[in-house]
Amino acid sequence: MLRLSKMTDYGVVVMGRLASRPDERQSAADVAANTGLPPATVGQVLKALATGGLVSGTRGAQGGYLLSRRPEAISVAEIVVALDGPVAITACVEGADDPCSVEATCLLKGSWDAVNIAIEDALKQVTLADMLAPLFQFNPPPTELREATP
Partner DNA sequence: ATCTATTTGGACCAATCTACTCCTATTGGC
Partner DNA sequence: GCCAATAGGAGTAGATTGGTCCAAATAGAT
**Where along the sequence are the contacts to DNA (CB under 7 A)?**
1, 3, 5-7, 10, 27-30, 37-41, 43-44, 46-47, 50-51, 57-65, 84, 101
Using CB under 6 A as the binding rule, whether residue 69 contacts ligand FES is answered as: no
- Choosing from 109, 121, 136, 137, the residue that interacts with ligand FES (CB under 6 A) is 109
The span from the CA of 17 to the CA of 34, in Å, is 8
Q: Which does 51 bind (CB under 5 to 8 A by kind): ligand FES, DNA, its own copies, none?
A: DNA
The span from the CA of 81 to the CA of 54, in Å, is 11
Amino acid 22 reads P
The region of 54-62, 105-113, 119-127, 140-148 touching ligand FES under the rule CB under 6 A is 105-113
Q: Which does 52 bind (CB under 5 to 8 A by kind): DNA, its own copies, ligand FES, none?
A: none
DSSP 6-59: HHHHHHHHHHHHHHHSTTS-B-HHHHHHHHT--HHHHHHHHHHHHHTTSEEEE-
Q: Choose between 59 and 143: whose C-beta lies nearer to its own copies.
A: 143
